[in-house]
Amino acid sequence: MAQRGGCVTSHVRYGRSVHSPLPRKGMSEILLAFEKLEVLRYLDYLKPEGTVIINDTEIFPPSVNLGDAYYPVDIMSLLPLPRSSIKMVKAHEIGLQAGNPRAENTALLGVLSRFLAIDVSLWSRY
């Protein structure tokens, strides 16, 4: 795990025939970005008809804080995707409403669950 300001990348693949834990670029059905800038970094993994779930949070990376790079003003305008394939989530606000801002990861997982072919009973099992 990276500490605040670091980067963590995870790939999850599931299905009947998974031969590698890493997806090929251009083959992912869903891209879940816990921070806005992350979607630009990993957009090349997404299928052209894929879905993007973005946490509406901005965390400046060290290069921006040091003045070596800039943080794009309007990341949404840089996405070459139809708006219907982009789901913006105010996960921090949802976490605050739940009583703990750290619950934003759980809020994002809840949104993701709506796009996966996994039976609801498996999500609420434990």
Query: What does the pLDDT look like over 61-96, one tens digit per residue?
Result: 888 899 999 999 888 888 888 888 999 999 999 999
The pLDDT of residue 81: 84
- Rounded to whole angstroms, how far apart are CA atoms 18 and 121? 23
The total of other beta-carbon atoms located within 10 Å of residue 108's CB is: 22
Which residues of the chain are under the pLDDT cut of 70? 1-6, 125-126
The pLDDT of residue 83: 82
User: Are 79 and 54 in contact, with CB atoms under 8 Å apart?
Assistant: no
* DSSP-assigned states of every residue in 36-98: HHHHHHHGGGEEEEEEEEEES-----HHHHTTSS---S-HHHH--S-GGGEEEE-HHHHHHHT
The pLDDT of residue 120: 80
The pLDDT of residue 4: 58
pTM for the complete prediction?
A: 0.84
